[in-house]
Each structure stands twice: as C-alpha cells, then as structure tokens.
Amino acid sequence: MVGPEPQQPSRRPASHLRPLRIGDLEIAGPAVQAALSGYSDRAMRRVARVHGAPYCLHEVVVDKLLLQPGKLQRQILSVETDDHPIGGQIMGAEPVVFGKAARLMADAGFDVVDLNFGCPVPKVLGRCRGGFLVGDPPTALEMIDRVLEAVAGDVPVSVKMRRGIDDSADAERSFFTILEGAFERGVAAVTVHPRTVEQRYVGPSDWEFLARVRCHLGDDPVLLGSGDLFTAADCLDMIARTGVDGVTVARGCIGNPWIFAQVADLLAGRVPRAPSLGEQRAALELHWFESLADHGDRKGPGRARNHAIKYAALHPDGEAVRDAFVAVRGEAAFRAVLERYYPAERSAERAGDAIDLAAAAHRLKSCGVAGGRVASPS
C-alpha cells in the first residue's frame, strides 16, 4: 500500500535518544559512517574510528566477487580486530548468490550484513542490482529471504534503500511493500535515503518522506536516515525532524572525520569545534599511512590523495591546498604539501567554527572534479 499522508513524527530530542541497536549490536552513538564506493576502505574506517565513529560500513561489494577465491576475496573478508563494529554491504541480482555472499561475510566476522537496494549508478541498475531492486519487490524480498536463511541468525541483517525508482505512486507502493516485508521477515534495521533512484544525487533529499516512514512503521522498528548530512547539526536535526533512530553519514564525512565527535559534542551540550591544522595534519598522515599499508605503494597514494583533496576544505587556504593535493603523486610530494600548508608553527590555527567549516567542505564542489573521483555513496 502507499504510505500514510504526511503528519508530524514523534520527535526524539537529543536528551531522549534511545540507544541505536541493530539486532543485538548496540552502537555507541546515533551517527555512523555509511558505505561509500571507492572511499570507505579500511584506511577511512580506521581514521573515522579514531575520531569517534561508533560503527562503519565497508564499501559495497558485488556478491559474485565474494564467491571468487583469490586476493580480492581474501582482502574483503579480512576483518581485523580493531575494525569493529563493522557492517558488510553487498549488492547483487541473484537471490541464491546473494545468500551465499552473506554467509561468507558472517563467517568472516562482519557484525552486520547490509543489503544494498539503493545504489543509483547506471551500470549498477543495468545489471539489475542496487536501486533497481527497489522497483522489483518480489525479487528484493526473495533476496532478503535467502540472506536471512543463509546467516541463520548468526548476525543481524539490515537493508539500505531509496524511496523509490521515481516519484510515481507505483514506485511508492513498491517501496512500502519492500519496507514492510523486510521487517516482517526479521530484518533488524532499514536505512532510507529519501531521494529516488532516478534523482541520483541531484536536488535536496526529502526528509518529510522519512517522517512519513517513521509514522508508518511506528516507534519500534529501527530506522536510519541518510541524505544531505554535512554537519553535526544536520545529523541531529534529521533525527529531531523525522524521528529516525540514527543517521548514516556519507559524503559529509569524506575529509571530515571530526563530524562524529562533533555529534557527540552536541549531544553532550558542548559547542563543537573545528579541527586545528595540527589535528588535520595528524589525520592526513594517518590516512596516508593506512592507505599505503592496505593498498601498497602503487594504489595507496591515489586512494589517499582522493581523501586529502576533501580534507583541504577544512583549511583556511582551502582552494590552494586542494590544488596542491591534486598534483600529489607520491610520498615526497605529499610531505611537501604538509610542510607548506600544515607547518608546526600553524598547528593551533583553525579556520572558523565547525558548522561553517563542514558547510564549506560541501560547497567546495570542484574538489571532486579536480580530484578525478566523486564520492558514490551506496
């Protein structure tokens, strides 16, 4: 059925937030790091955890790749002891394969298996994966069935979905059919990105739709929201305005791992502060080290550079720093940028308050173009 008419959700002020739980897993905060294709690798997750992220998702993985023995499979299924709690996100088109991939993730030590019914990238849709499934309830629900059977209660299962293929009534009916069916079958949580698949990342996300979903479900099912979360204030505003239990931060935490600690500050009644240049340098150095450790000297610098370009938006000389990072191709060049723009004598310097800085990071639109890669939240 089509969801209810818009109405005022039951608000959850910061002081009355219930603990965020996915199945038996309790998460120490309402804002978590989303799965980001090409970004949320082990290096990004480690940096995010150092800065307060209570739960992180691995970048989305195609289920068939998990079933192919080899280096890539071993890398994906290698969950280290300091990388918890972690969710493993998969997408695919064949229910049986989906179930087998979920079982491998559960056996590897992922704390949650997350199913991607939201990715709007054309090549994904063309293979009947990701967001394609939000328009195909029978297949989507069969895939949920196969995953739940495969993991057999060993780990909780969550679902990430968009609010429909498009803005039609049929698309909305399909969304609510999958949403209701997922919870009826035993899914532990659902994350809703309130843009349509057709919309991709263009235009504002419809937070009022999230409020409708909360009212439709009632208070008990665990619902997370996503979309247009670029500051700590955005995260708590979404919770207050829509009644969701928590939020998944996607593009808003690329180059800004401090957003998680800033959410904690707001919840504790403290004023969040922007990171100093010394703190930014420490995060950049850690990210560089972890990227090379995970991806080697050939791929590591490029992965780290994509993030460094985003960090530049938090610097007082953001555009110059961004351009300098764009030109980095190796460690010597990376160190030279740090020495020039993040010297010890400027370590205490900040570029303004945390809220303004996070908004500035979002506005620095040319970062993605200059860096050659745009974040693709799954």
Question: Average pLDDT, stretch 328-349?
Answer: 96
Which tens digit of pLDDT belongs to each residue from 180-213?
999 999 999 999 999 999 998 888 889 999 999 9
CA dist 314 and 340 (Å) reads: 16
SS3 content of the chain, % helix, strand, coil (to 5): 50, 15, 35
Position 66 pLDDT exceeds 60: yes
**Cα–Cα distance list, 276 to 46, 51, 279, 304 (Å):** 20, 14, 5, 20
Mean pLDDT (the chain) is: 89
CA–CA gap between residue 118 and residue 147 (Å, rounded): 17
* Calpha distance 141→136 (Å, rounded): 9
Q: Which of 362, 260, 263 is nearest to 313 (CA)?
A: 362
Phi, psi angle pair for 7, to nearest 5°: -155, 170
Give the pLDDT score at 9. Answer: 42
What is the percentage of the chain residues whose pLDDT exceeds 70?
Answer: 89
State the catalytic residue, choosing from 119, 235, 253, 367.
119
Per-residue confidence (pLDDT) for residue 225, from 0 to 100: 97
Stated pTM of the model: 0.88
Greatest pairwise CA separation for the chain in angstroms: 62
Taking residues 261-290, report their average pLDDT: 95
**252 secondary structure, DSSP code:** G
Least confident of 49-63, 67-81, 261-275, 364-378: 364-378
How sure is the predictor about 377, in pLDDT bands with cuts at 50, 70 and 90?
low
Is 128 noted as a catalytic residue in this protein? no
For the segment 99-125, what is each residue's pLDDT rounded down to a tens digit?
A: 999 999 999 999 999 999 988 888 898
pLDDT score for 363:
45
The residue assigned the tokens 């555009």 is: 319
15 three-state secondary structure: helix
Which ranges in the chain are annotated with CATH 3.20.20.70?
14-267
Grouping H, G, I as helix, E, B as strand and the rest as coil, residue 317 is coil
Chosen CATH of 14-267 out of 3.10.20.70, 3.20.20.70, 3.40.50.300, 3.10.20.600: 3.20.20.70
The answer to whether residue 359 scores a pLDDT higher than 60 is no
- pLDDT recorded at residue 8: 43
Using the predicted structure, report yes or no on whether residue 15 has a pLDDT greater than 70: no
Residue 126 is predicted with a pLDDT of 84
Q: What is the pLDDT, as a whole number, of residue 184?
A: 98
Please give the span between the terminal C-alpha atoms of the chain, in angstroms, as a whole number. Answer: 26
Average pLDDT over residues 243-270: 95
Say how far residue 371 (Cα) sits from the centre of its chain. 20
Q: Which has the higher per-residue pLDDT, 209 or 4?
A: 209
